[in-house]
Amino acid sequence: MKKNFKLQDLDCAHCAAKMQDAISKIEGVKSAHINFMSQKLTIEAEEEEFDSIMKQAVKACKKIEPDCTILI
């Protein structure tokens, strides 16, 4: 299942790439893509794992870009 999320206050394209890489490495994530221009995050994973994956994704993003928020 694919889900799209809006990103708020993502200011750096390099940070977006680092966030995408970090989310892609989370166990259970089939694919992750961040479009810096549209400020959108797309994650593909099994539906029953999404809650756990999103908690880890939020933590990873805050570590890389503290001002960025994933609007869930």
Q: What angle do CA 1, 25, 60 make, to 5 degrees?
A: 95
Here the tokens at position 36 are: 């810096």
CATH for 36? 3.30.70.100
Domain count, the chain: 1
Length of the chain: 72
Q: What angle do CA 49, 51, 55 make, to 5 degrees?
A: 120
Beta carbons within 10 angstroms of residue 47's beta carbon: 8
- Where in the sequence is the domain holding 22, given as residue range(s)? 2-71
The pTM score is 0.93
Tell me the pLDDT tens digit for each residue of 22-64: 999 999 999 999 999 999 999 999 999 999 999 999 999 999 9
